[in-house]
Structure 1
């Protein structure tokens, strides 16, 4: 009884630092964002729905929101697909070799993202090895380039978030017991069958976590699309940034930010709803 009473008294104090950080970094900024979206002319002005009415009346912003979520979702899926095999290979390596490879993988993630963005100019430019190979294969015309297209934005988003996805999948795949794979192999299951029926179900929770972790920053990206996407790669984040800076309309920018946040919450909520089923698959595969 004394221990329970002590835990009841000390728990709020232990949670206090995290609560303060959460309030300063999330709750208060979000409250300010909501307030600005209803107060077009500043703190002393009466609240109005003008920003939301302007957003609803023009179909442009709904199309940009759908395009933004689609781009982020496509980039997240491509990131997961590219990270799956490296993560699985790393999970089967010995610790010393694995740590060296993980160190090499994390270096681009620690590099300035502006430097990474401008490095893509060399990769996707008209004279790059990638475009030369595409011309040899006959899928690109002479002088063609992927720069200033939506595809360039997707490539950049994948490139930025690939190390993070590899780490998340690697942490989940490490839990796959090698004895399960050996037992399945002894019963006649091939490599693909073991991957589908054992590895994938057990790594599914990590996969969903990785998708959420890369989808959220991808959905709010705007520098990548502004530099690499050009006019065809415009996303909702670019419009929000312009409203906050060039147009000097924080009210409308705040309303667009909340609109984008709502869409991202819906997508992440759907992924979170799938997570219990993925966890059940993992337990089922282990059994």
Structure 2
């Protein structure tokens, strides 16, 4: 089947995060029932999310893997119901079988945090589907990825490694025009690496592909906003910091931002766009 998505390549996209997991770092367990997931997905869309990104496996640092059947059981009913409700969706997965099932259920985009490195079947499957494909910079699974956060020059090395992942995707038959890149903040990255990639995001944009930026509520923001005792700001109190990173990313040329707090981001982008207009 060749999928022809009706949405997704418009610039300045806000992608809403919908974790249908019990253990995601920010909102694990809040939306792991079908009804709660559908309600929240529709809310994200109503608030202005151009895509709702549905994930069934936590990728927080240290997270353990689940099996493919469990992941499919979590995401496919939600994607099918949201599609029927007119909500465009993407699937956040590293598995080819999950990607295929999700697209069959209506997902318009495959968002692969491993960029094709975790499952050798992912690239040929995405090529056969023909859908937009997010290639994230990745070095290893969550359980051990922070041990891999070693770079001489993080921006250059992420550029180089993303380019290698793109080459593999093109060789597998994925069309250049459907590829989206993600620098992978927090994935085998320290806080210093995340800040460097944020500051120099234009160098990732210069690779010539749409770039999706995902800093939402991540721990390095919590550390920046720590209290006088050194306690990080809780994840659900990092919305303003997330909005700031999203504006920085869009101003640097990012195609889209992936966030938990859609309304705040949409409002901030409306203000930013207004400043770009002629007076």
TM class by smaller structure: under 0.3
Of structures 1 and 2, the one scoring higher in RCO (CA 8 A, sep 6+) is: 1
Max radius of gyration: which structure?
1
| Larger fraction in strand | 2
| Larger fraction in helix | 1
Normalised TM-score (structure 1): 0.26
